[in-house]
């Protein structure tokens, strides 16, 4: 018989919270754990955008703007010129992205706090 304040879980098994928020967070954790590494997510998304730009190249879309309607055309990102611009501006793009600096500084600090100084 379980004593007051103790859960009904079996020995060796952690007690599972039963609230709706706890269940939602548990689901988010399970889904998050199944996702691949963020670098692979970035690579997959990059490839998806490149393929979409190839498929929709030449399509035009009208977009509302302050000064009237603007016409935007999809450009193929797999052409030689587009790939050259992508590669030549890659360093400036990543160094100019302020949140990346926080990650690059914070990640080693977090890892050292976890693994070097436990």
| pLDDT tens, position by position, 47-85 | 999 999 999 998 999 999 999 999 999 999 999 999 999
Higher-pLDDT residue of 86, 8 = 86
Q: Note whether 40 and 60 are same-domain residues.
A: yes
pLDDT at residue 116 tops 80: no
pLDDT at residue 42 tops 60: yes
Residue at 8 is within a domain: no
Q: Note whether 22 and 70 are same-domain residues.
A: yes
Count of other CB atoms within 10 angstroms of residue 9? 11
Q: To 5 degrees, how large is the angle CA 12–CA 16–CA 19?
A: 170
pLDDT at residue 115 tops 70: no
Rounded CA-CA distance 97/89 in Å is 12
Q: Note whether 105 and 87 are same-domain residues.
A: yes
Q: Look up the domain containing 22 and give its range.
A: 17-77
Is the C-alpha dihedral spanning 76, 65, 97, 107 positive or negative?
Answer: negative
Q: Find the mean pLDDT for residues 10-28.
A: 77
3-class DSSP state for residue 69? strand
pLDDT number for residue 17: 59
Q: Note whether 71 and 85 are same-domain residues.
A: no
pLDDT confidence band for 98 (50 / 70 / 90): confident
Residue at 63 is within a domain: yes
Q: Find the mean pLDDT for residues 1-27.
A: 68
């Amino acid at each position: 018989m379980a004593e007051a304040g103790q859960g009904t879980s079996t020995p060796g098994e952690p007690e599972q919270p039963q609230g709706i928020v706890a269940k939602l967070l548990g689901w988010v954790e399970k889904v998050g754990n199944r996702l691949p590494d963020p670098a692979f997510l970035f690579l997959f998304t990059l490839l998806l955008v490149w393929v979409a730009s190839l498929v929709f190249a030449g399509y035009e879309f009208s977009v509302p703007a302050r000064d009237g309607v603007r016409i935007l055309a999809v450009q193929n990102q797999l052409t030689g010129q587009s790939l050259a611009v992508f590669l030549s501006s890659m360093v400036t793009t990543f160094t100019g992205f302020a949140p990346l600096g926080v990650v690059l500084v914070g990640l080693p600090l977090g890892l050292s706090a976890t693994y070097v100084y436990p």
